[in-house]
Amino acid sequence: MKWDAVVVGSGIGGLACAGMLAAQGAKVAVLEQATAPGGYLTSFRRGGFTFDTAVDCIAGLDPDGLLTWLLRALGVDGRLTRIRLDPIRVSRFPGVTIPVDASLPAYIDRLSCRFPSERHGIAAFFRRAGEIYDGVEAMMNSVKTGRAHADAFPAALLRYGHLTYGDLLRHDIRDAQLSAILSDRCPFLGSPPVRVSATRMIALVMSYFRSGAYRPAGGHQRLPDLLVEGIRRAGCEVWLGRPARRILLEGGRCTRVLADDGAEFPARHVVSNADFRETFGRLIGGAVGGAVLAGARERPLSPSFFVAYAGVRKDTGRHGASSIGSFGDFDLDAFLDRYMPFSDADALGVTIPTVEDPSLAPPGHDVVVVHELIPNGYPCDWTRAKSARLDHVLRKAERVLPGLTERVVSRDAATPSTLERYTRNAGGAAYGWDQTPHPFRVRHGIDNLHLAGHWAEAGGGVLAAAYAGMRVAARIIEAGA
C-alpha cells in the first residue's frame, strides 16, 4: 500500500497535519517513538495525581478555534470537556500583583486604573496588538478552507515582523513597570523583550484574549488522545512505540519511511514533526541532510525547562488563580537575557490546575507544577543534580505558595534531558528555534518532504505548531494527495 502521507512524530503539529488529511479522506500513517501521543502535550499519573508534562494552558478550543475545527472535522469534538481560565493568570512583581482578566476590555481597564498616565498608550498598544492578531487569525482561518496560503501575507505581520517585542512596546508604553507587566508572558517563549519576536509574543498573548485560555478536563493528554481516535476512525493509522529509522530518497524525492522494526511505508508525501537535527541527521542523512544541518549550525535553539511536579495536601485557606507568574525584578531584559537557573531571585511559573479541575488529584489534595527556565546549553549533570534541583525549586515556589514543601506527598521532576529523551527535541528545546524576529527558513530542495510543528516557520507554542501542521496538510491537499 502507498500512503498519501507518512507523518513522523505525534506532537500536536504531526497530529494536526494527519488529522486534517484524514478528515479529507487521505490515507495517512503516523509513526511515533513514544508510547503516548502528544509530545509536550502529554500527561502522566503518579500516586493518584495527574500531571501535565509541560503545558500550562492552550488557545484554539473556543467554538471557532483552530483546534475545535479540527476535532469537529474528525467527529470527536463532543468528547472533549473544556475548562476556560479566568483570570488567565496572576503576575506577581515586587509590590505589584496583577490578575490577567480573560476579558481584554476588563484587563485594559485594570491596567489603566493602575497606570492612569498610560491610559492612552495602553489603548494604543492593544489596538496595535489587535491589528497584528487579525493577521494571525486570517492565516489560521485560511487553512480551514484547505488553502496553504492566505491570498496575501497580512500587512500587519509584514509591518511589525522585523521588530522585537521590546521595540513594539516602545511605540506606545513609557512606564518601565507597565512594560514589564505587559511582558509577563516572555518566559513562556524563553526570551527577554529585547530579543523575542514581537509578532510571536502578540500571537501568544492575544490568542488567550481572543480565543480563551483552556485546559482539557482530565489533563492535556485528552486532546492528542482524541485526535488519535479521530484519525483512526477515519481509516488511517497511528502507531505508538514504533519509531521511524530512516526517510529514504530516490531521485531527490522521499519514497519510503523505514520503521525501526524493518517495516517500510511507501509514501507520496513525508511529514516530519521530529526535531530538526533528527530529521536531517538521523532520518535523512547523507549529503542532503548534511548540507541542511551545516546551514543551520549557527542558529540558536530555544530554552528548555526544569519542571517540578508535586502532589500536595490542599491549602484550605488559599483561593485564587491556577496560573501564577512570579518575578523578582521589573527589568525582564536584564535577568532573562542573563538568566541563571536555580537562583532565588529569578522568575518561575506555578500552575495549580486542580483549582478548576479537582479530578486531577485525590480529595483534599492539589496538583502543583513549577516551571524553571533553563537556557539552551546550560551545563548540568542532571542525573546527579535532579533531586537537589527539585528541592530548590519547590522551596523557591514557597514565595508564591507558603508552606508548600510541608504539604508535599508525591513529587517528581523533568529535566531538559528528560524532555529530550521523551520527545527527541535537542536539549529539550521547548519551542524549536529561538523565537527571534527572523524565523529560520529551511531550504532542503525535497519537494515532497514537509516540516510540521515548532521547527517550522510558524514558531513555538501549541496553537502555532498545530497551525504549522495544518498548513502542511493544506499544501498536500492542494497538490492532489
CATH 1.10.3470 describes domain 100-214: no
Q: Do 176 and 94 contact (CB within 8 A), yes or no?
A: no
> What pLDDT was estimated at residue 319?
66
Mean local confidence (pLDDT), 58-65: 97
Neighbours of 53 (CB within 10 A): 23
pLDDT in tens, 213-223: 999 999 999 99
Q: State how far Cα 422 lies from the chain centre.
A: 16
> What residue segments make up the domains of the chain, in order of their start?
3-55+220-300+443-478, 100-214, 304-375+381-414
Beta pairing partners, 44: 51
Confidence at 391, pLDDT banded by 50, 70, 90: very high
pLDDT in tens, 431-479: 988 888 976 677 888 999 999 988 887 778 899 999 999 999 999 998 8
Q: Place domain 3-55+220-300+443-478 in its CATH homologous superfamily.
A: FAD/NAD(P)-binding domain (3.50.50.60)
Q: Do 218 and 357 contact (CB within 8 A), yes or no?
A: yes
> Dihedral angle at the C-alpha atoms of 330, 336, 337, 343, nearest 10 degrees?
110
Range in 21-25, 88-92, 184-188, 363-367 the model is least confident about: 184-188
Measured distance CA(424)–CA(84) in Å, rounded:
31
Kindly report the pTM of this predicted structure.
Answer: 0.96
Return the DSSP state at 271. Answer: E
Confidence at 150, pLDDT banded by 50, 70, 90: very low
Beta pairing partners, 188: none
Residues 6 or more apart whose Cβ sits within 8 Å of residue 443:
292, 295
Dihedral (CA of 150, 155, 157, 162) sign: positive
